[in-house]
Structure 1
Amino acid sequence: MANPRPSSHRLLRSRLLPPPSISCYVLVLLAFSAFIFLFSQRQITVVDRNPSDESFEDLKERLWGSASGYGYRPCVKRTQKYAAPQKWNRYLTVRSNGGLNQMRTGICDMVAVARLMNATLVIPQLDKRSFWQDTSTFSDIFDESHFINSQEGDVHIVRELPKELESAPRARKHFTSWSGASYYEEMSQLWKDYQVIHVPKSDSRLANNDLPIDIQRLRCRAMYHSLRFSNPIERLGKKLVERLKSHGQYIALHLRFEKDMLSFTGCTYGLNDMEAEELRIMREITNHWKLKDINSTEQRLGGFCPLTPKEVGIFLKALGYPSSTWIYVAAGEIYGGETYLSDLRSRFPNLVFKETLATKEELKDFSSHSSQTAAIDYIISVESDVFVPSYTGNMARAVEGHRRFLGHRKTINPDRKGLVELFDMIDRGELKEGAKLSSLVSEMHEHRQGAPRKRYGSLPGSKGRDRLRTEESFYENPFPECICLAGKH
């Protein structure tokens, strides 16, 4: 029913109000306007921090919280069936291949292999021929004495072969990838003819699953307790963590927008023709990269490309992180430098690298050794309030696993395939940055933030040894063997 029209008596009365009444109405109106202005300014500030109308505390918990480890904790104690090791007069020598984290996981695998084969492990030699051409020795990167001493009760480790065995014949053995305990029991037959077995490659020598629990827990003790970084690296890493935390909470961003990664994956989205050709040539001349002809568009649409710095900026903004957030970039040299970093920096001005966080004097002993600087990045990433990898590689997997082991610290894994669809909608003008995008991105990543879960098995349809290749890495998620609820073992 429509509202009745005002009567002529009421209209007449309103026209005859005395001047003081009009003044009161004006004053009330001005006061109300001032209140609205101040309230709107406060709301603008809150909206900048909280685009989804959450309370500030709820927003803070959503952005930074990790539910205090969900009640899970490390469990790496030996079972009652675990026998004490013997000092065997047979030796395993190892050359660890790859970058820092590929070598780290390989070394820990070799600790377990030495245990399975009843061998003494000689301190591994590190890869000096990889892409990074790093001349660092084991003791340059790791605390060698701690590594040896902390393995007492598990594996006997020595710094070098006994002199009488230096010229002895050796079995050079490429152990089969992702092998189980029974395989290494068979390989123990080699001891009948040799006292020394040399392993030219250490990466992925052990299966992710179906190993005895004591072997799995040994891998965790080796990775998270024994293989500690050298004192100089530990000191600088912790010092830089303290500098970051002095500004509040921070994100560690593993930004894999580096020349070697873009060339290897064939991802050229956002690059110019000259840069794309440079990456293609690099891929052609790198012998051990078997895939040469790659369709960059298909790679990106399939979610197989690292996010670009611009895409990372859009992603973090959509999740709700304010522009004042401190972001530490854990990476090597970013391809294209400031040309491709400028958009990310415009969204998050507090974007820092180890070169801007540390002094030249502090970095001088590490700067020419990529594995040592990567170790500094690793420490800062593990200790961050939030870790975000732009691509799933050895570093990302190792950091995520370590953070899970330490209490499921918040780790946001971007759904690259899903995000690319949204980014392309923005490019086509079908979607704008704002509340709608934030809602879509937040919903997409609700269950991609490092909460406890069992390790993924192989991909559907995979067969034979390829099935083992597709399993989630043990070091990416050591649950359930090395992580359990408080009070359980």
Structure 2
Amino acid sequence: MGNHRQSRKAKRSHSAISISLYIVIIFLFSIFIFIIYSRDILLDHQQTHFQTDKDQPKSEKMFNDVQIWGPPSGKGLHPCVKPTTKYKAAQVSDHYMTVKSNGGLNQMRTGIADMVAVARILNATLIIPQLDKRSFWKDTSTFSDIFDEIHFIESLKEDVRILKELPKELESAPRGRKHFSSWAAMSYYEEITQMWNEYQVIHVAKSDSRLANNGLPLDIQRLRCRALYQSLRFSPPIENLGKKLVKRLRSRAKRYVALHLRYEKDMLSFTGCTHGLDVSEAEELKVMRENTNHWKVKDINSTDQRINGLCPLTPKEVGVFLKALGYPPSTLIYIAAGEIYGGNTRLSDLASRFPNVIVKEMLVTEEEMKSFYDHASQTAALDYIISIESDVFLPSHSGNMAIAVEGHRRFLGHRKTITPDRKGLVEIFDNLEAGKLDEPMVSHFVRQLHKNRQGAPRKRGEAPSGIRGRARLRLEESFYQNPYPECICGSNREER
């Protein structure tokens, strides 16, 4: 009987231990599940904090190499500059046209392309243009110093007869001096042909923007493209050195950004932009503007200029901009520009974010540059070649160089060209300075603002609505900035 009670007591004790052990196991398992679940919650929280969800815009997602370096889709478009079947070869003409080109390198280049087309319209023999030697740079270069003169003449012989000089018997002949109207249509030049009744030689005082951007016959538009992109080739010394410099840049990095940093003294003085400058610098620019007779606007409000997006980005702003777009600090940046106002001190604002900043003097030898000194148009031609061949082209301000390079890159297959929305950026930059935005927010807004400003195919822009008469012609997008659709086609069938 005693043994039986002991057995029952032992069974109860064993049962209690089992239950306790079972409870402990359940408790430990619960803790384990809690830890796993808590970790998942933490990870989910981190992911929602550091990654974008489906509701966030695509531009907020992390930009990989393809997104920041890859060109926009060309949509199968390609250059098309062949004449149509209605186009006839140039005829020998006893009418002659002499030209005085004006402006810097790219203003002269696009002007010369216009003069080729005008000579065709007027059925005139074109004499090799005289280049501007009185511009801000006072470059004494001749046509053959900058351009391959023989190639220019030969490649256009089916379009326009071109001679190096006037025939001797016409050197002293009276000339009809004409300042052609800006952005003129075909009807204007049809009236000009009446001058041949009185003169055998017409002298053109200015060459830039003498043809309309739109509304011209297809063959005239394509001739402008052939002249600019194929015939107006740089001289062999410039071409050869330009290719060497591109190769040297590629030896430093696989890819590079060509930055047309329009922060030269003349640009800042002309635009009246003084943001980030000290009082003495602002005064120096004002004096320069007042003393430059052909700059008509003397009184300029710098703040208004900047708010309206009319000022070039400063080196510091370019650094913030590139970083916001996702370019890493190791990015190689080539400065395609003249002397930066403020020199290395001002460039340091960019170099602090992107240490690999290169200027042409870091790529060339003294011997190589010897023949280029005091020839700003020739050194600008080197910048042009390097900009055309770059992986990314970024102009800090609109202008003749920016327009010409963008258009050429579009013609060559819509190479990546980022055009800053300067007016939109001013507000972002100012809010960053004021502490109202942090860097991730700046990156989001900058990418959103520029997702459609990467050089993708689009038709040439028209003048803003509501503007009538000749005023609209000045505000149309330049033909040379975007030669689509006349010189860029979607299929071979379109080139006819």
Per the TM superposition, whether the score is higher than 0.5 is yes
Offset of residue 69 of structure 1: 2.6
Does 2:404 align with 1:415? no
Q: Which residue of 2 aligns with 1:77?
A: 82
Does 2:332 align with 1:329? no
**TM-score, normalization: structure 1?**
0.89
Per the alignment, in what secondary structure is the counterpart of residue 372 of structure 2? coil
Q: Do the aligned partners of 1:70 and 1:407 also contact (CA within 8 Å) in 2?
A: no
Q: Which residue of 2 aligns with 1:268?
A: 274
Match of 1:158 among 141, 160, 163: 163
Does 2:269 align with 1:256? no
Does 2:433 align with 1:427? yes
Offset of residue 52 of structure 1: 5.8
Q: Which residue of 2 aligns with 1:301?
A: 307
Offset of residue 463 of structure 1: 2.2
Match of 1:111 among 95, 109, 116: 116
Q: Which residue of 2 aligns with 1:4?
A: none
Q: Do the aligned partners of 2:318 and 2:350 also contact (CA within 8 Å) in 1?
A: yes
Q: Which residue of 1 aligns with 2:373?
A: 367
- Over 3 Å counting, the alpha-carbon distance change for 1:188 and 1:425 in structure 2 is same
Deviations 1:332-362 (A, max 9, x none): 0000011211121011111001111212221
- Over 3 Å counting, the alpha-carbon distance change for 1:380 and 1:11 in structure 2 is farther
Q: Do the aligned partners of 1:104 and 1:223 also contact (CA within 8 Å) in 2?
A: yes
Per the alignment, in what secondary structure is the counterpart of residue 483 of structure 2? coil
Q: Which residue of 2 aligns with 1:197?
A: 202
Offset of residue 68 of structure 1: 5.5
Q: Do the aligned partners of 2:72 and 2:455 also contact (CA within 8 Å) in 1?
A: no
Q: Which residue of 1 aligns with 2:458?
A: 453
- Over 3 Å counting, the alpha-carbon distance change for 1:139 and 1:12 in structure 2 is same
Within-5 A mapping of 1:199-278: 199-246=204-251, 247-278=253-284
Q: Which residue of 2 aligns with 1:188?
A: 193
- Over 3 Å counting, the alpha-carbon distance change for 1:486 and 1:358 in structure 2 is farther
Q: Which residue of 2 aligns with 1:86?
A: 91
For 1:353 and 1:9, the matched residues in 2 are separated by 79
For 2:405 and 2:167, the matched residues in 1 are separated by 36
For 2:321 and 2:186, the matched residues in 1 are separated by 43
Offset of residue 11 of structure 1: 11
Match of 1:401 among 407, 411, 428: 407
Offset of residue 305 of structure 1: 0.2
Aligned Cα RMSD in Å?
A: 2.2
Per the alignment, in what secondary structure is the counterpart of residue 172 of structure 1? strand
Does 2:134 align with 1:132? no
Q: What letter corresponds to residue 427 of structure 2 in structure 1?
A: E
Deviations 1:107-148 (A, max 9, x none): 000000000000000000000001010000000000000000
Offset of residue 70 of structure 1: 2.5
Q: Which residue of 1 aligns with 2:4?
A: none
What stretches of structure 1 move > 3 A for 4+ residues in a row?
8-14, 51-54
For 2:356 and 2:370, the matched residues in 1 are separated by 24
Within-5 A mapping of 1:96-107: 96-107=101-112
For 1:183 and 1:243, the matched residues in 2 are separated by 48
Which runs of 5 or more structure 2 residues have no equivalent in the other structure? 1-18, 33-42, 44-49, 51-58
Offset of residue 188 of structure 1: 0.4
Compare 462-471 and 117-126 and name the one that shifted more. Answer: 462-471
Q: Which residue of 1 aligns with 2:36?
A: none
Q: What letter corresponds to residue 446 of structure 1 in structure 2?
A: K
Q: What letter corresponds to residue 183 of structure 2 in structure 1?
A: W
Q: Do the aligned partners of 2:78 and 2:411 also contact (CA within 8 Å) in 1?
A: yes
Offset of residue 12 of structure 1: 9.8
Q: Do the aligned partners of 1:283 and 1:289 also contact (CA within 8 Å) in 2?
A: yes
Q: Do the aligned partners of 2:110 and 2:208 also contact (CA within 8 Å) in 1?
A: yes
Per the alignment, in what secondary structure is the counterpart of residue 203 of structure 2? strand
Q: What letter corresponds to residue 405 of structure 1 in structure 2?
A: F
Q: Do the aligned partners of 2:461 and 2:476 also contact (CA within 8 Å) in 1?
A: yes
Per the alignment, in what secondary structure is the counterpart of residue 411 of structure 1? coil
Per the alignment, in what secondary structure is the counterpart of residue 313 of structure 2? coil
Q: What letter corresponds to residue 221 of structure 2 in structure 1?
A: Q
Q: Larger Cα Rg: Structure 1 or Structure 2?
A: 2
Does 2:71 align with 1:66? yes
Q: Do the aligned partners of 2:114 and 2:224 also contact (CA within 8 Å) in 1?
A: yes
For 2:358 and 2:203, the matched residues in 1 are separated by 42
For 1:295 and 1:11, the matched residues in 2 are separated by 83
Q: Do the aligned partners of 2:273 and 2:311 also contact (CA within 8 Å) in 1?
A: yes
Compare 463-472 and 159-168 and name the one that shifted more. Answer: 463-472
For 2:133 and 2:235, the matched residues in 1 are separated by 18
Q: Which residue of 2 aligns with 1:148?
A: 153
Q: Do the aligned partners of 2:131 and 2:141 also contact (CA within 8 Å) in 1?
A: yes
Q: Do the aligned partners of 2:269 and 2:288 also contact (CA within 8 Å) in 1?
A: yes
For 1:66 and 1:426, the matched residues in 2 are separated by 29
Q: Which residue of 1 aligns with 2:349?
A: 343
Does 2:314 align with 1:320? no
Q: Which residue of 2 aligns with 1:29?
A: none
Fraction of identical pairs, as percent: 68
Q: What letter corresponds to residue 334 of structure 1 in structure 2?
A: I
Does 2:100 align with 1:95? yes
For 2:89 and 2:346, the matched residues in 1 are separated by 55
Q: Do the aligned partners of 1:70 and 1:408 also contact (CA within 8 Å) in 2?
A: no
Q: Do the aligned partners of 1:266 and 1:280 also contact (CA within 8 Å) in 2?
A: yes
For 2:90 and 2:428, the matched residues in 1 are separated by 55
Q: Do the aligned partners of 2:73 and 2:456 also contact (CA within 8 Å) in 1?
A: no
Aligned residues between the structures: 451
Q: What letter corresponds to residue 155 of structure 1 in structure 2?
A: V
Q: What letter corresponds to residue 289 of structure 1 in structure 2?
A: W
